[in-house]
Amino acid sequence: MSELPRPRVLCVDDEPNIVEALKRQLRRKFDVETALSGTQALEMLESHGPFAVVVSDMRMPHMDGSAFLAAARVRYPDSVRMLLTGYSEVDAAIRAVNDGHVFRFLLKPCPPEILTAAVDAGVEQHRLRKAEQELLERTLRGSIDALAEVLSLASPLAFGRARRVQRIALDLAKALGIADVWQVEVAAILSQLGAVTLPTDVLERWQRGQVLRPEEQEMLTRFPAVAEHLLGHIPRLEGVRRIIQLHPLPFVVGREDEIPIGARILRVAADLDSLTTQGIAAGSVVDMLQARGCYDPLVLEQLQAEDDRGTVGDVPLRSLTVGMVLDQDLRTDKGLLLVARGHTVGESLLIRLRNLGHRQGLPEYVRVVLPR
């Protein structure tokens, strides 16, 4: 059985003999790298990371240990930070603890056994922090998946729209190179949660752009509040909630900071899907969005550059394969909606269609977007 990788430690000091001494003291238990300045250490964290523990001297030219650890905290928060300092630098060390959230500071000269024990404690702290982070991420992902599953069961029509909007928004977010793409992806799928409160016929007429009665229009105004209420109980989704909350607002030049880029992307993706669902030709949709004058020009520019959703064509129902995307609602001959447009064909759908066979009067051909 292969051995587990040893914890990685980065030692930082501007004196080569000191970092070499630190390396000799720690290398029996840890995989040790060294850097001779705060700037070099930040580069090491970027190119050779991640490190479980970072041990830095306090007094270094250009960037002292306090400034380095504060920068490391912002850019590499998972690494546990420790500070080596002299008696005369205790006040500065205390500031470093506050500014850089330093796990522990050690007075020089530091005996090898104390240094090793401190790094051991730092490695354990790193392990606990990563375990907690993984647990939170699994819990978060499970909560999101559960809500999406509820939406797919309660309203296949809304779930189909959510998947279509998600696909458009995700492509735009990646192309624009924004940070936290996952927030846009999650916001797109969960933005349609309010659909569970709408009667199916109202939802269908709304998606087709048909006129709604005043009381039906009132239902739509409460649509975003449902998602806001449900997501309010899930931690770490503040950014997602903000995207959903603000995406209906129009873009105003000079006030870009008031609406996050994720919300601007989501509005374009949602309105693009609405126009397409209403039967407007793909070539005219972008021109219509531009004419409205309420979207981020950079997002629309990227939308024009993308303008490639794959080849659309009719295929025999029995020839559907995993990865194809439905470009129409799949209904029985009695009008029962089985799967909404935008659904990506998976093994479960193929099994379901085979089981239904001819009993549900399924169409012989279906229009799909073929994989790129």
Question: Whose CA is closest to 22, among 126, 121, 111, 127?
Answer: 111
d(CA 115, CA 301): 56
Alpha carbons 18 and 110: distance in angstroms, whole number: 11
Mean pLDDT lowest among 305-309, 332-336, 368-372 = 305-309
Q: Cis (ω within 30 of 0) for the bond into 156?
A: no
What is the rounded average pLDDT of the residues 95-114? Answer: 76
More confident residue, 354 or 6: 6
CATH number given to 160-308: 1.10.3210.10
Residue 237: which pLDDT band, with cuts at 50, 70 and 90?
confident
Q: What integer pLDDT is reported at residue 89 of this predicted model?
A: 62
**Share of residues in the chain with pLDDT > 70 (%):** 91
Strand partners, 313: 368
Q: Is the pLDDT of residue 262 over 90?
A: yes
Q: What is the pLDDT of residue 263?
A: 93
Distance in Å from the first CA to the final CA of the chain: 42
pLDDT for residue 314? 86
pLDDT band at 1 (very low <50, low <70, confident <90, very high): very low
pLDDT tens digits, 163-215: 889 889 998 999 898 878 888 988 888 888 888 788 888 888 887 778 888 88
The rounded distance, in Å, linking the Cα atoms of 108 and 86 is 5
| Fold: same for 8-132 and 160-308 | no
Dist. CA 6–CA 240, nearest whole Å? 37
**Region label for 307, one of left (φ > 0), alpha (ψ between -120 and 50) or beta (otherwise):** left
Q: Give the pLDDT score at 235.
A: 72
Per-residue pLDDT, 31: 94
pLDDT band at 36; cut points 50, 70, 90: very high
Contact predicate 227/191, CB 8 Å: yes
Q: At 331, phi and psi to the nearest 5? A: -125, 160
Output the pLDDT for position 8. 94
Q: d(Cα 189, Cα 151) in Å, to the nearest integer?
A: 9
Q: Compute the distance between CA of residue 269 and CA of residue 176 in angstroms, rounded to an integer.
A: 14
258: phi then psi, degrees, rounded to nearest 5: -75, -20
pLDDT above 80: residue 341: no
Handedness of CA 143, 144, 146, 151 (dihedral sign): positive
Task: Examine the pLDDT at 293 and tell me if it is beyond 80.
Answer: yes
Mean pLDDT of 115-136: 86
**What's the mean pLDDT when you consider all of the chain?**
83
- Residue type at position 112: P
Confidence of residue 328 (pLDDT cuts 50, 70, 90): confident
Q: Are 372 and 328 in contact (CB under 8 A)?
A: no
Mean pLDDT score, 286-295: 88
Q: What is the pLDDT of residue 347?
A: 81
pLDDT, tens digit, 9 for 90 and up, residues 57-98: 988 988 988 889 989 988 888 899 998 887 556 666 666 665
Grade residue 269 by pLDDT with cuts at 50, 70 and 90. Answer: very high
Domain boundaries, the chain: 8-132, 160-308, 310-372
The H-assigned helical ranges of the chain are 16-26, 38-48, 65-75, 90-100, 112-154, 156-176, 181-190, 200-207, 214-221, 223-231, 238-246, 261-277, 282-292, 297-306, 347-356
**Is residue 157 classed exposed, middle or buried when 0-12, 13-18 and 19+ CB atoms within 10 A define those classes?**
buried
Give the pLDDT mean for 330-341: 77
Q: What contacts 24+ positions apart, CB below 8 Å, involve 270-275? A: 270/165, 270/191, 271/295, 272/168, 272/303, 273/161, 273/164, 273/165, 273/168, 273/342, 274/207, 274/209
Task: Report the C-alpha gap between 281 and 288 in whole angstroms.
Answer: 11
Position 151 pLDDT exceeds 60: yes
**Helices within 15-111 (DSSP H only):** 16-26, 38-48, 65-75, 90-100
Per-residue pLDDT tens over the stretch 215-224: 888 888 777 7
The answer for 122, left when phi > 0, alpha when psi is -120 to 50, beta otherwise, is: alpha
Residues facing residue 96 across a β-bridge: none
Q: What is the pLDDT of residue 353?
A: 79
Q: For a pLDDT cut of 90, what percent of the chain falls above it?
A: 21
pLDDT band at 274 (very low <50, low <70, confident <90, very high): confident
Superfamily, domain 8-132: Response regulator (3.40.50.2300)
Instruction: Quote the tokens at residue 243.
Output: 């995207």
Contacts of 145 (CB under 8 A, 6+ apart): none
- The two tokens of residue 302 are 């990227």
Residue 80, pLDDT score: 93
pLDDT over 50 at 313, yes or no: yes
